[in-house]
Amino acid sequence: MEQYFGKAVKRVEDPRFLTGSGQYTDDLSLPRMAHVAMVRTPFAHARIRRIDTAQALEHPGVVAVITGQALRDANIGSIPPGWLLPDIKTPPHYAIAVDRVRHAGEIVAAVIAESRAIAEDAALLVDVEYEMLPAVSLGSAALASGAPAVHDEAIENVCFRWSIGDQAAVDAEFDRAAKTVKLSLRNSRLAPNAIEPRASLAQYVRASDELTLWTTSQNPHIHRLILAAFVLGIPEHKLRVISPDVGGGFGSKIFQYPEEVIVLYAARKLNRPVKWTARRTESFVSDSHGRDHESEAELAADDEGHVLALRVKTIANLGAYLTLFGPVVPTYLYGTLMNGPYRFRAIHCAVTGVFTHTAPVDALRGAGRPEATYLLERMMDRMAQELGQDPAELRRKNFIQPDAFPYQTPVALVYDSGNYEPALDKALTTLDYKRAREAQAALRKEGRYLGIGFSTYLEACGLAPSSLVGSLGAQAGQWESALVRVMPTGKVEVFTGAHSHGQGHETAFAQIVADDLQIPMDDVVIVHGDTAKVPFGWGSYGSRSAAVGASALKMALNKIRDKAAGIAAHLLEAAPEDVEMTGGQLHVKGVPERGKSFSDIALQAHLAHNLPEGMEPGLEATHFYDPKNFVYPFGTHVAVVEVDPETGRVTLQRYVAVDDCGPLINPMIAEGQVHGGIAHGVGQALLEHALYDEQGQFVAGSFLEYAMPRADDLPLFEIDHTVTPSPHNPLGVKGIGETGTIASTAAVANAVIDALGPFGITHLDMPFTAENVWRAIQGGKKAVA
Amino acid sequence: MADTVAITLTVNGVERQADVEPRTLLVHFLREALGLTGTHVGCDTSQCGACAVSVGGVVVKSCTLLAVQADRAEVTTIEGLARDGQLDPVQQAFWDVHALQCGFCTPGMVMATHELLAHSPQPTDAEIRHGLEGNYCRCTGYHNIVRAVRLAAEKLAERESTAAAG
Ligand code: FES
Ligand code: FES
């Protein structure tokens, strides 16, 4: 039989996308469908004095105008966060503002009309009288005394204060350290910008009192749970959530958004389907943003460069409201990652989560781990610079050794497996490091400024052991489900709680099934994204689909195989333990010529004329897989940049990435994940900035102002991998969806700072746009030739 | 209801007549009136290229044209490229080298690739990257898209030479 695991099988989902037959939420139309346009406040902070909807309602074609008060009167609840921390403030987050708006773009009314154009016209007729209030957009400014309050219940705008690690131990290490370095770092705010804007379509069936929501979601069951039980207050089984083809998520489609609440409410109230699709300019101000940290970091080392301790203080800007993962991203997905792949004696990380008058900040590709990696890898470079050591060798000497696993870090995590040097070596070889440094030195003499930057990252993904995350404040488990249903003809349907929005599960998961049941991939269909079909599952984010979702599938397949072997043994009059499966046949060991094919067994299981005593008919199995630990992918990324000292322009010349995510189910898909991840992280380093001015006005509100990486901003990437399996899941796999982003921002930043070394520049905040770099060069010392 | 204008155009080889509001964008006409939802909308400032279609043999962003401007034109959308269930060489190349992930940018990328190869049948990587700068992709980092364009160029060249030989 053909072995599919490890093969670059072309994706089964692609023909529909390539021919325009994909079905995304906005592609759906239903009879009598009405359309919504949101009225969004242009102000960062204001009291709503009055909303006059009369003129909008009179506009021909308008069906209804919904205000926040109407939702409150209908007992529509606030959208809750899914993760709590000690003493956290969780002010309500209503779908439509009632008396105060707290960020530009917040919804103040929703206009529903016969067409989108009419709804948008009429939205301009909704008259809102505001009383302007002072606003604050920067985390540190919100903490300053006298700063405008975002929520009355959050004193000094503090949402939470959280810390991890042993502060006294860190102080002791710093006291005896030979070298210490210190940096203030900003991790810039990003807009997620999946190319498919968010969209939601709700339908109400009066006869059964049931709602269906088609929405751009990475996790339809979480949507159903939260929207039904917590927001609408309806039984969970009265809401079906379908997430059809989804055009990228990157975290931004995890959360439950106000627009989803509005279409659900409106569909039921009006008894007609209601659709909303974001305009990109709405996406910019209403999708949850990412990052936005201000940090102070100190690193201590001995005189040889062995790191001893790390001290971090971070102000995390949470925006105006807490969304689903808002509290966990800058805490448990950040502070716990400060150890990287190194041997630290002590680490302390203190985070203050702060409300500001800006859009909510939540998970964005990497979610906390890119922020931690950026900080740690910048600090490692700063230390190398201070000690006059090679940055690659400084990292190497600090690596945790391969025989030290499982490895307990000072910040709670226990690493499952790792072998860091081979990845570094492979990257150095690919790059030809020695020659690259020589070229750098030679070009510098010609007045050209090359920089080489490393990121020997480590990340924790595959969310997550349920009891562990429960003890850390998660209001949910983080296991995953798989249901394998074999039909009488031997065709197989798999229902997975994981969700693909570009990751290719329909292919990769089918590879696993085809191998395990020794059937052609064509006989397998992978179903996801519909709460009416799939058992409860937690969806896809945090690089969990392979490590948790595919592990659940593997376990369910084991059950199918066991039952099939039992049936085969009975038919072959053998003991089940004597039956094996080879060449697509179940047969007695050593007697392959007298076997039963998998489809024979499937048929017998359903005919049930001759099953072993006591065996149930049918061939179907469900498994709920709860991982024992996170998985810990790692690797070495190296960026080579050139900075033009005249213009400040940074060109990314080469990008080498060696990643280890255990065995690859489909190397082609895994590499694609790495490519996209790198581009995302490079985008943050060089181009992207979701910038608010001090008054809370968003100044990067369209693709005209917000620079996305384009094809001509990037080189071809040089990709390779090493394989260190995870010891604790049945496939040995680790996640690969976010590693590129986690690693690349730091690698590019280190390369840019390396290039700017001759100007006396030891740090610069992102993004490294021509203007920012040029200014830094002007402000820095003259280059020493 | 606003006044409408009657238009006649050929879309993917089929003649279509419709009454449209003068302000209707071509992309909305294709998606909503004709149900050709393969052409996507990714922005409202004409930057992303998800809406690219061919009008009169030239690939344009269909969010920058009014439907009435396409009156009497020949329009080809992503739905019109495959023939008899066979992907065209550009579609096939995208499939072969995994040049798509979520698929949302893909129709626009495929159309833009056709335009690029029409002007420059043997493009360098730099020309490919320059030629695709009007199309955003958030998933692929463009790496495999560049490879797909190269591959498509080769396949089209092969097809030309076979056609010439035949
Ligand atoms: S929809 Fe973005 S360019 Fe047309
Ligand atoms: S494949 Fe997702 S945006 Fe290009």
Per-residue pLDDT at A780: 74
Mean pLDDT score of chain A: 96
CA distance A252 to A540: 12
Whether residue B45 and residue A716 make contact (CB cut-off 8 A), yes or no, is no
Confidence grade of residue A256 (pLDDT, cut at 50, 70, 90): very high
Going from N- to C-terminal start, the domains of chain B cover 5-80, 89-165
The architecture (CATH level 2) of A14-22+34-133+193-286 comes to Alpha-Beta Complex (3.90)
Contact B105 CB / ligand 2 (< 6 Å): yes
Gap from B27 CA to chain A (nearest CA, Å): 12
What is the token pair recorded at A330? 């800058």
In CATH, the number for domain B5-80 is 3.10.20.30
Q: Which ligand is nearest to the CA of B46?
A: 1
Establish, for the pair of chains A and B, how many residue pairs have beta carbons separated by less than 8 Å: 187
Q: Point out the residue among B50, B87, B143 whose CB comes nearest to the CB of A716.
A: B143
Q: For A281-295, A584-598, A674-688, which range has the lowest pLDDT when averaged over its residues?
A: A584-598
Contact B67 CB / ligand 2 (< 6 Å): no
Which positions ≥6 away from A275 have C-beta within 8 Å? A26, A28, A29, A33, A34, A35, A36, A199, A200, A201, A202, A263
DSSP A9: P
Strand runs labelled E in A522-566: 524-527
Per-residue pLDDT at A471: 86
> A15 — contact with chain B (CB < 8 Å)?
yes
First to last CA, chain B: 56
Per-residue pLDDT at A472: 86
Gap from A195 CA to chain B (nearest CA, Å): 6
Per-residue pLDDT at B163: 82
Nearest chain A residue to B135 by CA distance is A710
Per-residue pLDDT at A21: 97
Instruction: Tell me the ipTM for this assembly.
Output: 0.97
- Cα-based distances in Å from A192 to A40, A280, A465: 20, 11, 27
A379, A301, A398: which is closest to A338 by C-alpha? A379
Going from N- to C-terminal start, the domains of chain A cover 14-22+34-133+193-286, 290-463+629-784, 479-625
- Cα-based distances in Å from A399 to A554, A600, A749: 33, 53, 21
Gap from B47 CA to chain A (nearest CA, Å): 6
Whether residue B21 and residue A117 make contact (CB cut-off 8 A), yes or no, is yes
The Å distance, Cα A586 to ligand 1 centre, comes to 54
Per-residue pLDDT at A544: 93
> A677 — contact with chain B (CB < 8 Å)?
yes
The Å distance, Cα A247 to ligand 1 centre, comes to 15
In the predicted model, what is the mean pLDDT of residues A455-484? Answer: 92
In the predicted model, what is the mean pLDDT of residues B129-158? Answer: 97
| Segment A676-722, tens digit of pLDDT | 999 999 999 999 999 999 999 999 999 999 999 999 999 999 999 99
Flag whether pLDDT at B159 surpasses 90: no
In CATH, the number for domain A479-625 is 3.30.365.10
Neighbouring C-alpha atoms within 13 Å toward the C-beta of B114? 23
**CATH says B89-165 is which class?**
mainly alpha
| Segment B46-85, tens digit of pLDDT | 999 999 999 999 999 999 999 999 999 999 999 999 999 9
CA distance A281 to B100: 25
Q: Which ligand is nearest to the CA of A249?
A: 2
What is the token pair recorded at A267? 């569909």
Other CB atoms within a 10 A radius of the CB of residue B160 amount to 11
CA distance A431 to A751: 14
Task: Answer yes or no: same fold for A290-463+629-784 and A479-625.
Answer: yes
Q: Which residues of A touch B114 (CB under 8 A)?
A: none
Per-residue pLDDT at A785: 41
In the predicted model, what is the mean pLDDT of residues A435-443? Answer: 98
> A669 — contact with chain B (CB < 8 Å)?
yes
* Residue whose CA lies nearest to ligand 1 atom number 3: B46
Gap from B57 CA to chain A (nearest CA, Å): 19
> A114 — contact with chain B (CB < 8 Å)?
no
Per-residue pLDDT at A333: 96
- Cα-based distances in Å from A363 to A189, A190, A366: 12, 11, 7
B48, B100, B143, B146, best to mutate for ligand 2 pocket (most atoms within 8 Å of CB): B100
Per-residue pLDDT at A474: 86
The Å distance, Cα B101 to ligand 2 centre, comes to 5
| Segment B124-142, tens digit of pLDDT | 999 999 999 999 999 999 9
Confidence grade of residue B37 (pLDDT, cut at 50, 70, 90): very high
In the predicted model, what is the mean pLDDT of residues B153-159? Answer: 93
Nearest chain A residue to B41 by CA distance is A196
| Percent of chain B scoring above 90 in pLDDT | 92
* Three-class SS state of A626: coil
Flag whether pLDDT at A116 surpasses 90: yes
Flag whether pLDDT at A784 surpasses 80: no
Q: Point out the residue among A15, A248, A714 whose CB comes nearest to the CB of B139.
A: A248
Q: Cis check for the bond before A464: say yes or no (omega within 30 of 0).
A: yes
Per-residue pLDDT at B166: 64
Confidence grade of residue A464 (pLDDT, cut at 50, 70, 90): confident
| Segment B9-20, tens digit of pLDDT | 999 999 999 999
First to last CA, chain A: 64
DSSP A767: P
Domain A290-463+629-784 has CATH 3.30.413.10: no
> A31 — contact with chain B (CB < 8 Å)?
no
Gap from A303 CA to chain B (nearest CA, Å): 41
Contact B26 CB / ligand 1 (< 6 Å): no
Confidence grade of residue A783 (pLDDT, cut at 50, 70, 90): low
Confidence grade of residue A385 (pLDDT, cut at 50, 70, 90): very high
CB A565 within 8 A of CB A558: no
Flag whether pLDDT at B94 surpasses 80: yes
Q: Which residues of B touch A712 (CB under 8 A)?
A: 126, 129-130, 132-133
